[in-house]
Amino acid sequence: MDSFSRTSWNRAHAMATASVHGKPGKLTSEQTAAVKNELDAILNSDYFSSTKRSSDFLEFVVKGALAGDCENLTERSIGAVLFGRPIDYETGTDAIVRVRANDVRHRLASFYSEHHPDSRVSIYLPPGSYIPEFHWSESGEPKTPTNARDAGASLNLETVEGSSAAIEIRNQTVRTKLTKSVLTAAVLLLSVVAGVIIFWRATTHRDRTLREFWQPLIRDHGRVIVCFGNATSFWPSESVRQALEKGDRALLENPGRITVTRDDTVTVGNLRAAVSISNLLSGYGIANELRWPQEVQSEDLNRSNAIFIGGLNNPWSMSLNEGLRYSMKQVQTENGPVWTIQDRRSPNQDWSITAPYPEASSVDYALITRVIDRERGRVVISVGGLGQFGTQAAGEFLTDESALSAFERTAPSGWEHRNLQIVLGMRIDGRKIVSPRILATNVW
């Protein structure tokens, strides 16, 4: 096996056996071969060839399903086998499997939006599940009808029509009954149509402001890059860890080796904002994919719409807001660093914190920016807080109809087609966001 070790695969394969995605029926050898060919085509595509982790993930779950290992395609088992987590790790606080699965779903959606229209089978990873489904085209399905409805579809239409005509001539009573049945069906159909229209209007009204904010992306139908910021992590060596546990004061003189990483971790606030926005885009039928900042190139942004999650920890967010009315900065003062959102028109007005997470802070602030770049035909949005709670609150704001409606009430006419910035403020009670509110806006 190329993408991950055969030892890991054998370990997962030996755990248990189950039928492919529930009990839909055993695949034939021909269908199994078709699924494997489709998997190879997907893994060799541009959407997966550049990301080893997502490729490993998809290959693992598809081959596990084909082997009958569905009972072990769980978050915990995947985390242990693919990502080296202990088998009893805390899945509630370690979201590595959920993040990677969401990325795989979006890459699959992008792949099928542009590739393989004539494929016999498509591979789908349902939301909330790690067991893939295999959707067959007509050419890939058995020709024998599987239920009465399918069998009825093969009846000769001319025979049915001829029989109906003969019955109508022979029996006026039957025709009367048929007429009543048709009228009844028509009334029921009209009732259903009316219900659908009412539901559609109610649904449209319910998310009207949300749609207006996201309309530039919905109308464009283009792929969206969702880029979330890095979190800085400090990993002590084993000797340093043991000394810390013992409270060894010698660490003050010889702190030992500490590794700093910025490319494999993300804060919970950034993750929640990214997933919320990604799910909303998927609900509107917008293909999107999650990336680290290091995976985004300027050439990508020239071709794609983009959403940057995070503030000071995302260089693309910082670049977008630089030169606009509201921007984020880290300022060194006599008392230490200060993280702030500044207003270029009112230099004395700023919103600042001095202790970002993990230090305790009672407040946080966030900046939302949407720029419609008509010259290059793209939309760029940044959603970032000074701390992770501000980023989470901003992500929730952009996926909440009532929150955006509060902005709309004071926004100038035509805001949905213009550039805009929104500054949010909120209290932080422990790890809970309290009373987020709009502090300032700018529409141009």
Summarize pLDDT for 57-114 with one digit per residue, the tens.
Answer: 999 999 999 988 888 899 999 988 988 888 888 887 788 898 899 889 988 988 888 7
Averaged pLDDT for residues 267-278:
86
pTM: 0.53
Domain ranges for the chain: 6-140, 171-205, 211-231+266-443, 235-264
Please state, for a pLDDT cut of 90, what percent of the chain lies above it. 33
Task: Pick the more confident residue, 162 or 226.
Answer: 226
Going from the C-alpha of 443 to that of each of 169, 410, 414, 428, the distances in angstroms are 72, 11, 9, 28
| Residues facing 379 on adjacent strands | 372
Task: Pick the more confident residue, 430 or 56.
Answer: 56
Contact 122, 134 (CB under 8 A): yes
Contact 309, 277 (CB under 8 A): yes
Distance of CA 377 to the CA centre of its chain: 23
DSSP codes of every residue in 122-168: EEE--TT--S-EEEEPGGGS-SS--SHHHHHTTS-HHHHHHHHHHHH
- Report the candidate in 12, 120, 141 with the shortest Cα–Cα distance to residue 64: 12
Q: Tokens at residue 295, please? A: 């995976």
pLDDT band per the 50, 70, 90 thresholds, residue 21:
very low
- The reported pLDDT for the residue numbered 263 is 53
Q: What topology does CATH give the domain 211-231+266-443?
A: Chitobiase; domain 2 (3.30.379)
